[in-house]
Amino acid sequence: MSGLILHAGANVATEADVALVPTPDATDTWQPIPHVALLNSVRRAVEFNGFTVKQQTYGLWHDGARMFGVWTLSSSLMAPDYELAIGIRNSHDKTFPAGLAVGSRVFVCDNLAFSSEIVVTRKHTRWIMRDLDALVAGASGRIAEARQIQDLRIGAYKGTDLSDTQVHDVLVRSCEARVMAFSYLPKVLAEYRAPRHEDFAPRTAWSLFNAYTEVLKESPAQDLSQRTIRLHGLMDGVSGLLIPSQN
């Protein structure tokens, strides 16, 4: 995403940079996935499902052992005010498994939020490269379902009016849910009360959600997926939604 913020020690990278990262040697019980092999597999899968990769940004840290990427996807079924986004992560140091995070990017403000996480594989076993395309295809096949859920979810947010009392309750609960630290709440409230984008002038859950994601732009990209997944869980409850887990 534009303005990608990363943890200290991490670097914004291109796909060419990612492709140059060396992959450690395999052992009898562990087979690391080359970062670029994962990206290529995901690209084949999303294109098979009718999406085009419109924009892509990457970050590398720990000397390239950990990779995080964000793709913005487009399709013929794109919503009028937001588009689908996926986060892709992989590690060569066993820190976390290869996986995808599905979310949305709002056109008017470029706010990015993830709503669910899909683990491609929990362990990099010796047969992972043989099975990678099938595993990614299974995970990516859920992206179309995620888009439909996002349409439902965002429609519900837009249709949920909030009183000042409800907004204050959400602010407190968001700290308890570890969406963000208490010290950031004044920024969220200021953004909600005087939104910089006219689209968020209505006093709805959608406007409050985007006040949060505006402030969360300051969060490192590696943290954003978990923070915004928690935020969606909170706002789903406020809007009366019961979204089945995709995990």
User: Is residue 24 within 8 Å of 31, Cβ to Cβ?
Assistant: no
Write down the mean pLDDT value for the chain: 87
Query: 4 is written with which tokens?
Result: 């990608």
Q: Of the segments 85-89, 124-128, 206-210, which one has the largest average pLDDT value? A: 206-210
193 and 138 within one domain: no
User: Is residue 101 within 8 Å of 81, Cβ to Cβ?
Assistant: no
40 and 148 within one domain: yes
Would you mind telling me the total number of residues written for the chain in this entry? Answer: 247
Q: Flag whether 137 is in a domain.
A: yes
Question: What tens digit of pLDDT does each residue of 95-108 get?
Answer: 888 888 888 889 88
Flag whether pLDDT at 6 surpasses 60: no
- Residue 202's domain spans which residues? 160-238
77 and 28 within one domain: yes
| Residue 20: φ, ψ to 5° | -85, -10
205 and 99 within one domain: no
CA separation for the pair 247, 66 (Å, rounded): 22
Q: Flag whether 5 is in a domain.
A: no
CA separation for the pair 238, 98 (Å, rounded): 32
| Residue 94: φ, ψ to 5° | 65, 20
Query: 209 is written with which tokens?
Result: 């959600």
171 and 149 within one domain: no
Flag whether pLDDT at 40 surpasses 80: yes
Residue 173 DSSP code: H
CA separation for the pair 94, 78 (Å, rounded): 36
- Residue 84 C-alpha from the chain's centroid: 10
Question: What tens digit of pLDDT does each residue of 205-240 get?
Answer: 999 999 999 999 877 766 788 899 999 999 999 999
Strand partners, 55: 72
Last residue of one domain, picked from the residues 105, 136, 153: 153
Tell whether the torsion through CA atoms of 32, 34, 37 and 42 is positive or negative.
positive
| Residue 216: φ, ψ to 5° | -70, -10
